[in-house]
Amino acid sequence: MLLPMRRLASSPSLPAIYPHISPARRSLGLRRQHGRGASARRTSATPVVCCLGSLPVASQSSQSTMTGANPVTVAGTERPSEWSGDAIRRRFLDFYAARGHKILPSSSLVPDDPTVFLTIAGMLQFKPIFLGKEPRRVPCATTSQKCIRTNDIENVGRTSRHQTFFEMLGNFSFGDYFKKDAIKWAWELTTKEYGLPPERLWISVFEDDDEAFSIWLNEVGVPKERIKRMGEDDNFWTSGATGPCGPCSEMYYDFHPERGSLNADLNDDSRFIEFYNLVFMQYNKNDDGSLEPLKQKNIDTGMGLERMARILQNVPNNYETDLIFPIMEKAASMALVSYGKADDAMRTNLKVIGDHMRAVVYLISDGVIPSNIGRGYVVRRLIRRVVRTGRLIGMRGDGHENSEGAFLPSLAETVISLSSEIDPDVESRRKSILGELLREELRFVQTLGRGEKLLDELLDEALGSAGGDKPCLSGKDVFLLYDTYGFPIEITAEIASERDVTIDMKGFDIEMENQRKQSQAAHNVIKLSVGNETEIVKSIPDTEFLGYESLFATAVVKALLINGNPVENVSEGTDVEILLDRTPFYAESGGQVGDNGFLYVYGEEGGKQNAVIQIKDVQKSLGNIFVHKGTIKQGSVEVGKKIDAAVDGKLRQGAKAHHTATHLLQSALKSVIGSETSQAGSLVAFDRLRFDFSFHRPLTEKELLEIESLVNQWISDATHLETNVMALQDAKNAGATAMFGEKYGEQVRVVEVPGVSMELCGGTHVSNTAEIRGFKIISEQGIASGVRRIEAVAGDAFVEYVCSRDNYMRHLCSSLKVKAEDVNSRVETILEELRTARNEASSLHSKIAVLKAASLASKAVLVEPHNVRILVENMGDVDADALKSAAEHLVGTLQDPAAVILGSSPGDGKVSLVAAFSPGVVKLGVQAGKFVGGIAKLCGGGGGGKPNFAQAGGRKPENLPDALEKARAEIVAVVSSKAS
């Protein structure tokens, strides 16, 4: 469920009345402590605690923060302090399992749903069931779902409850129970299982939901004054403009019951925290905004684990729970600071580090590699925030006596140590996670160095363009440094202040707000829709797939669609989508493309052929219904007709060879470059395969040859493949590898090449590796930071590739008049001859340019008061290297001080510019790099260089004369104005 992310940082922090978790409790995982000895010492600032409403409440006169740990009491009884995050999670799942709910695992942070960027709610994996596009596998379920939200990233660490990574505990009903049971169980769980005092719990309901109000009031017994009716913005959940929706009811914990119920505001973060949200999905919103009741009413809930841990562990914010605090504690020790003694700014920085480290570890574990696009950019941005924040508070080195090392891996070790109950797969991916963080941090440290250089240049520009005004760094520039180069605003402001430059914080805030809005709009929405597709799926069962055993089948046309709309018949020449009751056609999934082939419609009793439909693609839609996309080539077809379906056997064989080769390739990669590499995507086509994998560097030629050799050895071994269907957990226990992006049910298909590969895969494969015939890597390249791609061919495509390359080689041998084994040496000889000829030509061009320039020296003008000789000329079509030689010759020929500015148009729409200033001109404060860069802009380009020599280019040669005239006027003006 989507817990509303409102009531933001403008609210004051919660009064510091809660004890921090002591080191002893942290090291023991919050096991029960006895007594109040050394492990639970108080400072002199400890507030007086009395029992009010069963939980400890500080006297109102005290605002200090406790540093010890005390047992929490409920109804006068000491509460055991075993309320670790793991215990809270287990208690939730067990509670609902005992009430008929199936405990299901958390889905990946990379959702199957292409409309959602990252998994942001527990309900996401059940979206197809809520829409009626997939049948329910169980009547009700419960999960602890890993979630990522980045729309409120700037509030992380600043408020008590905003995080990028969190766990959402949820219970879900798919047409089973509804409002009454959901409310009663939520109350029972909260008050009896977790033992929260009923008098501290407040409820919100949708303003028109009298049914929910009545259940809370009359059946649960919550006093009327603690049930608040709230509007649509707060308590009505919608998935979008249309689709399933319904009222919701939220549970709040009251930290200050002594304030009474009069004028209580549930949006007051200093008093209340919402921890459980119950959505009653009972309507469908139509295009006109009207609501109609759903035939199947569903329950979708979400309890924030970190929020409940905060309450039960009696700490002032989500960060100081045992779910996050050990990471913060590790960061503090590496920065040589104490969290207990730190000021607010330091604590905020440690909270940012603790939160973001959880997010990046789990994202990388789920296959998201840092990059500059998509989900990879989210990981990169979070990593850079941790690095720059850590460096800001003094973190250096890896925590193991290596001051030059990266500190992220050490922090990640702590995150991984806490992961066993959240996601046990994280531990098995430890090496890959740590390696990725190490590389990314070291890469970013270099980026920070480039940012420092850019900041110096921006400050120079601000000082140079200020005129009589106070120099100021623009908001856009500050944001560029912050977002692209990872510069903390504080560092930018400090460095700027040292040079007497202010920064435009208002402009920076505008840029930040624009990015926040874009991020929120793009990443915090789950889209559901109900339309014609839902009506179709109600009457059509899943397609029976026969393609593992046969390429031919007789089937019945169950539906015809044109542009997504159902029709009864389709005539010749029309593009159509056809739904059959059974099919031999493979539908695109797991990276493998859909089959091609034909459908044939015959007359009564096998008479004359009435229609031919060419199938060009097959996709899965509406759950497990196969959509055959094609064109009516002859005749017409109508719903209810029997057809003969025939898959193109040659193309299917190509897909089978490439799919099995992909499995062999993955095993070979792990064998050659290490098991830490993981799949990041794949394409299995009829004529080639593409395999994306996580790795930090290009593969060497030797490694590629070794991979090829391994795959071809396994092909020549002629090993029979084994295919079995088994329970998902049994497959995992057997060591089967999951294919990237594939969604699995409780029963899975396991494809094994004995001794080589075992993967969960629904694709089609050869029966024996010898059918692949051969394997050849065509290319290996990087497609994103930390992600490589191999393209290869197998089967018939392998034979065609080898034959075509042999043909090219024979033509090359004929042209060069050498044998194949002598081609390399002959080509090297030709290239060397070409390089020599080019060098000679370049030398001649430079000599000609110098001779031409010598004749121009007499055109230099003398400018007072410093008697600077200035020469600005157009050199025609001279290339850039020759132009440089000419300028160097002239500035050396003319008596110091001298300034030479030359331009040329070497062809192809190019402009070359060069500026050469003698030492005397540079001493006047005139720099060639800055000067030539400004002139180049007139020619549609740019450039720069050293104070005494610089080059630039452009794409507008027609502007060169005007640019040189401007250069002449500006250089004369600037040297004339310089005081002696």
Q: How far is CA 371 from CA 519, 619, 694, 784, in A?
A: 17, 30, 11, 6
Number of DSSP helices (H) and strands (E) in the chain, helices first = 26, 40
| 126-139 residue pLDDT tens | 887 887 777 888 99
More confident residue, 917 or 895: 917
The single-letter DSSP state of residue 113 is -
Across residues 563-580, what is the average pLDDT?
91
The pLDDT, as a whole number, for residue 674 is: 87
Token couple for 788: 């490589």
Amino acid type, 321: T
**Starting from the edge strand earliest in sequence, which strands make up the sheet with 757-760, in order?**
722-727, 747-753, 757-760, 737-738
Q: Which residues make Cβ contacts (< 8 Å) with residue 933, sequence separation at least 6?
A: 942, 943, 944, 950, 952
The pLDDT, as a whole number, for residue 739 is: 60
Q: Which helix (H) or strand (E) holds 387?
A: helix 374-392
The Cα diameter of the chain in Å comes to 108
CA atoms within 13 A on the CB side of 939: 32
Torsion angle (degrees, nearest 10) of CA 872, 875, 879, 883? -40
Please state, as a whole number, how many other Cβ atoms lie within 10 Å of the Cβ of residue 701.
Answer: 9
Question: Look-up: residue for tokens 């939220």?
Answer: 250
Question: For domain 544-647, which CATH number applies: 3.90.1720.10, 2.60.40.10, 2.40.30.130, 2.40.110.10?
Answer: 2.40.30.130
Q: Of 334-338, 404-408, 848-852, which one has max mean pLDDT?
A: 334-338
Lowest mean pLDDT among 54-68, 574-588, 758-772, 933-947: 54-68
| 230-276 residue pLDDT tens | 999 889 988 666 778 899 999 999 999 999 988 899 989 889 999 99
Across residues 932-939, what is the average pLDDT?
87
In whole angstroms, give the CA distance from residue 662 to residue 689: 7
Three-state DSSP class for residue 881 = helix
More confident residue, 370 or 31: 370
**Does residue 980 surpass a pLDDT of 80?**
no
> Of all residues in the chain, what percent carry a pLDDT higher than 90?
44
The answer to whether the CB of 482 falls within 8 A of the CB of 489 is yes
- Residues 167, 173, 179, 183, CA torsion sign: negative
- For 189-287, where are the alpha helices, taking DSSP H only? 210-214, 232-235
Three-state DSSP class for residue 20 = coil
Three-state DSSP class for residue 822 = helix
The pLDDT, as a whole number, for residue 622 is: 64
More confident residue, 749 or 531: 749
Across residues 151-174, what is the average pLDDT?
83
In whole angstroms, give the CA distance from residue 142 to residue 300: 10
In whole angstroms, give the CA distance from residue 598 to residue 630: 9
Across residues 208-229, what is the average pLDDT?
95
Give the closest residue to 371 by CA, choosing from 972, 816, 706, 787. 787
Q: Of 547-561, 809-823, 851-865, which one has max mean pLDDT?
A: 547-561
Three-state DSSP class for residue 183 = helix
Output the CATH code of domain 85-321. Answer: 3.30.930.10
Q: What confidence category does residue 298 fall into, taking pLDDT thresholds of 50, 70 and 90?
A: very high
- Residues 735, 736, 741, 743, CA torsion sign: negative
Lowest mean pLDDT among 80-94, 477-491, 766-780, 936-950: 477-491
Tell me: is residue 659 an annotated ligand-binding position. yes
Torsion angle (degrees, nearest 10) of CA 931, 934, 935, 941? 130
In whole angstroms, give the CA distance from residue 909 to residue 911: 7
Give the closest residue to 776 by CA, choosing from 642, 664, 923, 888. 664
Cis upstream peptide for 897 (omega within 30°): yes
Q: How far is CA 200 from CA 4, 76, 80, 221, in A?
A: 21, 15, 19, 13
Cis upstream peptide for 584 (omega within 30°): no
Across residues 195-224, what is the average pLDDT?
95
Task: Please tell me the pTM assigned to this model.
Answer: 0.61
Q: What confidence category does residue 895 fall into, taking pLDDT thresholds of 50, 70 and 90?
A: confident
Across residues 284-309, what is the average pLDDT?
89
Q: What confidence category does residue 529 fall into, taking pLDDT thresholds of 50, 70 and 90?
A: very low
The DSSP string of 756-819 is TEEEE--S---SBGGGG--EEEEEEEEEETTEEEEEEEEHHHHHHHHHHHHHHHHHHHHHHTS-
The single-letter DSSP state of residue 252 is E
Across residues 847-870, what is the average pLDDT?
79
The single-letter DSSP state of residue 162 is -
Third-level CATH fold of 838-978: Diaminopimelate Epimerase; Chain A, domain 1 (3.10.310)
Q: How far is CA 560 from CA 542, 580, 620, 810, 975, in A?
A: 15, 9, 15, 52, 80
Class of CATH domain 652-804: alpha beta
Mean pLDDT, the chain, rounded, equals: 82
Tell me: is residue 761 an annotated ligand-binding position. yes
Token couple for 667: 């095993």
Please, what's the b/e burial string for 934-966 (b: 16 or more CB within 10 A of its CB; e: otherwise)? bbbebbbbebbbebbbbbbbbebbebbeebbee
- Where are the domains positioned within the chain? 85-321, 326-519, 544-647, 652-804, 838-978
In whole angstroms, give the CA distance from residue 176 to residue 532: 25
Tell me: is residue 34 an annotated ligand-binding position. no
In whole angstroms, give the CA distance from residue 815 to residue 570: 56
Q: Which helix (H) or strand (E) holds 862?
A: strand 861-863
The single-letter DSSP state of residue 368 is -
